[in-house]
Amino acid sequence: MKLVRFLMKLNNETVELKNGTIVHGVHASCVDVSMNTHLKAVKLTLKGKNPVALDHLRKVPPGGRGRGRGRGRGRGRGGRGGR
């Protein structure tokens, strides 16, 4: 819980990712329970490239999951044992 409080206090922050990308932005909202942060007024600088300005940066949950009946569950039970 202390880490969440610490992350909520961050305002203008710069983060360097493992691949050399630098992200600089302002927290749009506090950190949620999943430790995700939402940034606004973001400046994204890929390694060796020009900076790109973004309005906001956030993690969006995938929309295609859990729709339809039996998606990704194989061919079903069959009912007659394969006859």
Domain count of the fold of the chain:
1
CATH of the domain at 46: 2.30.30.100
- Contacts within 8 Å (CB) and 24+ apart, 51-55: none
Q: Does 74 reside within a domain?
A: no
Q: Does 30 reside within a domain?
A: yes
Q: Does 83 reside within a domain?
A: no
Tell me which residue range forms the domain holding 40: 2-57
Residue 51 in tokens: 């900076």
* pLDDT at residue 1 is higher than 80: no
75 pLDDT band (50/70/90 cuts)? Answer: low
Name the region of 5 (left: φ>0; alpha: ψ -120 to 50; beta: rest): alpha
Can you give the pLDDT at residue 76? 59
Q: Does 76 reside within a domain?
A: no
* pLDDT at residue 66 is higher than 60: no
Encode pLDDT of 3-59 as tens digits: 666 666 667 778 888 888 888 887 766 666 777 777 788 888 888 889 888 876 766
Can you give the pLDDT at residue 81? 60
Q: Does 62 reside within a domain?
A: no
